[in-house]
Structure 1
């Protein structure tokens, strides 16, 4: 499915997703555990980590809080 977003946006989403995955793993959480903490579906966490979804700011803030890192470390 083609995206209406520029390639640089898609690649940044992948970088952010990789940072989220690393922070989740460092926190010792599975995708399901993180999803439970942020009241999301584990498939949503999977899509965020793989850069295939465009998460809202609220979800990113919840994820940062759940894994114990500042939001800036995830999205910088």
Structure 2
């Protein structure tokens, strides 16, 4: 497991993905709590993902995409 911080471009992409998740959640009329319940994740985890402060696993992103009725690619790629 790497101990060095990720490069800046990784942080920028993580924030962009979080912004996309937040926009999709809001467009669906969901709170972080509701999305968390639908995805089987804690609402605090949803918050950290949306604000780019955590590094979500692939499994988390798949669950969020499914809860938002989106494809994974639409969730993570611009």
Same fold per superposition (TM over 0.5) = yes
For 1:18, the equivalent position in structure 2 comes to 19
What is the distance in 1 between the residues matched to 2:52 and 2:68?
18
For 2:44, the equivalent position in structure 1 comes to 43
Structure 1 moving runs of 4+ over 4 Å: none
Q: TM-score when scaled to structure 1?
A: 0.92
Give the unaligned 5+ runs of structure 2: none
Aligned residue runs from structure 1 range 1-76, under 5 A? 4-76=5-77
Q: TM-score when scaled to structure 2?
A: 0.90
* Matched residue SS, 2:64: helix
